Amino acid sequence: MKVLVPVKRVVDYNVKVRAKSDGSGVDIANAKMSMNPFDEIALEEAMRLKESGKVTEVIAISCGITQCQETLRTAMAIGADRAILVETTADIEPLAVAKLLKALADKEQPQLIILGKQAIDDDCNQTGQMLAALLGWPQATFASKVVLDDGKVTVTREVDGGLETLALTLPAIITTDLRLNEPRYVTLPNIMKAKKKQLDTINPGTLGVDVTARLKTLKVVEPLKRTAGVIVPDIATLVSKLRNEAKVI
């Protein structure tokens, strides 16, 4: 069984990003970049399925600039068998990514696609769902447990107020939540081995996908700083402040 794992290059989660002075976006100059944490979890789950003997090949995929190769090398150091980079300098949106992944899925014919539920830079939480719609495959989002057996996959997913268990027929799409697993550390020997693994680079035109942006960012601003809390003497003062100052009632 073949599994595709899309991974995204994002600003490292430990880095505090700031909006550009002109409000055109986020300043990532000289910022440390790494693999999206939710995608790390997706890749770890794919590796565990392979180590259990239920998956034969894991392919990491990324869409973006040339530097995304670093992220793919990390994915192969974790254990992915090979990688594919859809190289483009365009600011691609979730729908464009889903179309690119669909084209690759049509080409590679995987039985399972596992990806993070969202990226920590745009927090869209859309790509997996859009990809499922484009492919016409069943999907299970926010997975906290995955069991693969006898041509189907059973997924426990987190929902408001509890857990929901779904049984999907393959091929299928799964998006991962934080509690699914704990990603492994990358070892130096595996980093060296990853340099010899296959990494193919293609462009969106080869796949017949238009990645032109459909959305325009008007302005990016930092959130207002929170003011210090105050202690009020009685309920009447609290209500007055909520009504007149906070204007929430």
CATH number at residue 208: 3.40.50.620
Has residue 249 been placed in a domain?
A: no
Q: Is residue 100 part of a domain?
A: yes
Phi, psi angle pair for 165, to nearest 5°? -110, 130
Is residue 181 assigned to a domain? yes
Residue 143 lies in a domain: yes
Task: Give the length of the chain.
Answer: 249
Which tokens in the block code for residue 183?
């990603």
Q: What was the pLDDT predicted at 86? A: 95
End-to-end CA distance of the chain: 57
pLDDT tens-place values along the chain, 249 residues long: 999 999 999 999 888 888 888 888 888 888 899 999 999 999 999 999 999 999 999 999 999 999 999 999 999 999 999 999 999 988 899 999 999 999 999 999 999 999 999 999 888 999 999 999 999 999 999 999 999 988 899 999 988 888 999 999 999 999 999 989 999 999 999 999 999 999 999 999 899 999 988 888 888 888 888 888 889 999 999 999 899 988 888
In a domain, 175, yes or no: yes
Return the exposure string of 9-34: e unless at least 16 CB atoms fall within 10 Å of the residue's CB, then b: bbbeeeeeeeeeeeeeeeeeeeeeeb
Q: Of 112, 98, 114, 117, which Cα lies nearest the Cα of 159?
A: 117
Question: What is the pLDDT, as a whole number, of residue 21?
Answer: 84
pLDDT of residue 56: 93
Residue 222 lies in a domain: yes
In a domain, 195, yes or no: yes
Number of domains in the chain: 1
Pick from 44, 62, 64, 46: which is nearest to 2 by CA? 46
Owning domain of residue 162:
2-244
